[in-house]
Amino acid sequence: MQTNYKLLAKTLHGFEPLLAKELRNLGASKVTEGVRNVSFEGDTGFLYKANLCLRTAIKVLKPIQSFKVFNEDQLYKHIYAIDWTQIFDSDKTFAINATVNSNSFSNSLFIALKAKDAVVDRFRNERLDRPNVDTKGAQIRINIHIQDNDCTVSLDSSGRSLHQRGYKKSTNIAPINEVLAAGLLLLSSWDGKTNLMDPMCGSGTILIEAAMIACNIPANINRTDFCFKHWNDFDEGLFSKIVDASLNKTREFHHKIIGYDKAPSAVRKAQENVTAANLDDYITIERKDFFKTEKPLQGPLHMVFNPPYGERLSIDIPEFYGRLGTTLKHGYPGTNAWLITSNLDALKHVGLKTSRKIKVYNGKLESRFVKYEMYEGSRKNKK
C-alpha cells in the first residue's frame, strides 16, 4: 500500500478555492488553501493523477526536505546532505529555481547556484558522472523556497507549467492562458448542460477547455512529458493505470460549442488547435463578426469570451464595448454572457448591468470577470 505524503499545487491568484475543490473531487486529503497555492496529501498515484487531471494548477511540487538556514554555507550543507543519487541519475539534466523572502538572503540566483554546486558535488563524491544543468529543458527541476529562515526543498513533478496542455499548435496576439481559461469557465459555473459560445475565440483556448470540462477529459491528456517521469522511482505501469482510469471517467456531451472570429488567421489557428486536441466532433468554428450576428441556437446559451482590452490590440474602447453591449441586448436573448477585461473603464461603455463581478488576474493585469444576463422577454417577466 502506498504512503500519503505532503504535496503543494501552485495556481493563479484568486483560483485557490477552485483548485481546492478540484483536489477534493479527485480524492486528495488534508486540502488547505494558501496564497496562490493549495497544500494537500496524496500517494504517488495521486501525484500522477493531479498532474494529469487538474485544470487550475500551474505546478505540483513534492516537498522532500525542510530546515532552518541562516547563511549560504548552511544551505550548501543541507542540500548536499540529500542523497540526490537516489532521486535521479547523472544522465538527466537538471535545473534549480529559488524564491527568497528573507533578511538573511537577498539573491535568489546566488541561492540557486549554491544549491546547484551542492547537488553536483554530491554526485562527484559518490564517484558518479556530473549531471548537466539545463535551465530551459531540464528533466529534473528542484524548487527551493526560503521564507525568513525556513527553507523547503521540493521536487517539481510537473516541469513546464501545466497550462502548456500540449494541444496548442498555433497562437494569435494576446492568447489566453489555458489555466486562466479553465478557471474562468469553472467560475462561470460551466457544466456542459447547455450550448456554449466564444464569440471572439482567437486561437480557441476557451472552446477547447470548455469541451474538456463538458466531457470530463483530463486537462493534460495531450501532454507527453512531466518531470516525474524522469525520477528514479517513476512507475510507468501505475501511470498507465491512472491514465486509463481517468479516461474511463469521460462522458458524452450533447450540446453545441461554437466559436466565432472575424480574422481568417485566427479561425485557421483555432481549428488546428481543436484538431490537435481531438475535439472536432464537439467544436464548430466560423469566421464571423460578432457584432453582425444573432443567437444561432434555441434555448439557453452560455457565453465566455476574452475581448480586446486595448493593451496589445488597438481598438476604440468606447465604440467597441458599446457595440458589444448592443449586440448582446438585441441579438442574444436567453444568454448568460461572461467576459474578462483588464480595462475597467471599458465596462462603463457596455450599457448593461452586471449580475456578477469577480476580481481575477490575466498575467500581471488586474482584471474583472463579469456576467451579463440576457433574459428572454423582459427582465420583469423573467423574475
- Residue reference for cell 551542492: 118
Where residue 309 falls among pLDDT bands split at 50, 70, 90?
Answer: confident
For range 156-172, the mean pLDDT = 92
Same domain, 378 and 305: yes
Query: 194 pLDDT exceeds 90?
Result: yes
Residue 314, phi then psi, degrees to nearest 5? -80, 120
- From 122, 156, 190, the end of a domain falls on 156
Q: What is the DSSP string of 57-87?
A: -SEEEEEEEEEE--SHHHHHHHHHHS-GGGT
SS3 196: strand
* 231: in domain: no
Same domain, 142 and 192: no
Using an 8 Å Cβ cutoff, are 87 and 38 in contact? no
Cut 0.85: pTM above it: yes
* 182: in domain: yes
Rounded Cα–Cα distance for residues 383 and 379 (Å): 6
* 238: in domain: no
**Total domains, the chain:** 2
Residue 329, phi then psi, degrees to nearest 5? -65, -45
Residue 236, phi then psi, degrees to nearest 5? -65, -35
Same domain, 186 and 151: no
Shortest CA distance to 347 belongs to which of 377, 128, 356?
Answer: 356
Query: 312 pLDDT exceeds 70?
Result: no
In this prediction, residue 326 carries a pLDDT of 97
Strand 37-42 with 150-156, pairing? unpaired
* 233: in domain: no
* 228: in domain: no
* 10: in domain: yes
Range name among 165-174, 185-194, 371-380 with the lowest pLDDT average: 371-380
Residue 146, phi then psi, degrees to nearest 5? -115, 115
Same domain, 282 and 202: yes
DSSP 359: E
Lookup: cell for 170: 498555433
Residues of the chain with pLDDT > 70, as a percent, come to 96
Query: 173 pLDDT exceeds 90?
Result: no
Same domain, 69 and 209: no
What is the average pLDDT score of the chain?
94
Reported in sequence order, the residue ranges of the chain that DSSP labels E, i.e. its strands, are: 5-10, 29-33, 37-42, 59-68, 94-101, 140-147, 150-156, 195-198, 257-261, 283-287, 301-305, 335-341, 356-362, 365-374
Q: Based on the number of CB atoms within 10 Å of its own CB, is 277 exposed (0-12), middle (13-18) or buried (19 or more)?
A: buried
In this prediction, residue 376 carries a pLDDT of 81
In this prediction, residue 322 carries a pLDDT of 97
Which CATH number belongs to the domain containing residue 347 in this structure? 3.40.50.150
Using an 8 Å Cβ cutoff, are 371 and 188 in contact? yes
Same domain, 152 and 201: no
Shortest CA distance to 211 belongs to which of 182, 168, 180, 188?
Answer: 182
Where residue 379 falls among pLDDT bands split at 50, 70, 90?
Answer: low
Rounded Cα–Cα distance for residues 329 and 258 (Å): 19
Same domain, 190 and 330: yes
SS3 213: helix
Same domain, 259 and 149: no
Which CATH number belongs to the domain containing residue 135 in this structure? 3.30.2130.30
Query: 43 pLDDT exceeds 90?
Result: yes
pLDDT tens digits, one per residue of 115-144: 999 999 999 999 999 999 999 999 999 999
Domain residues for the domain of 136 are: 5-156
DSSP 134: -
Same domain, 65 and 192: no
Q: Which residues share a beta bridge with 38?
A: 9, 33
* 225: in domain: no
What is the rounded radius of gyration, in angstroms, for the C-alpha atoms of the chain? 23
Task: Find the length of the chain.
Answer: 383
* 109: in domain: yes
For range 55-80, the mean pLDDT = 97
Shortest CA distance to 88 belongs to which of 110, 45, 66, 120?
Answer: 120
In this prediction, residue 380 carries a pLDDT of 46
Same domain, 196 and 311: yes
Same domain, 48 and 92: yes
Same domain, 18 and 120: yes
Query: 51 pLDDT exceeds 50?
Result: yes
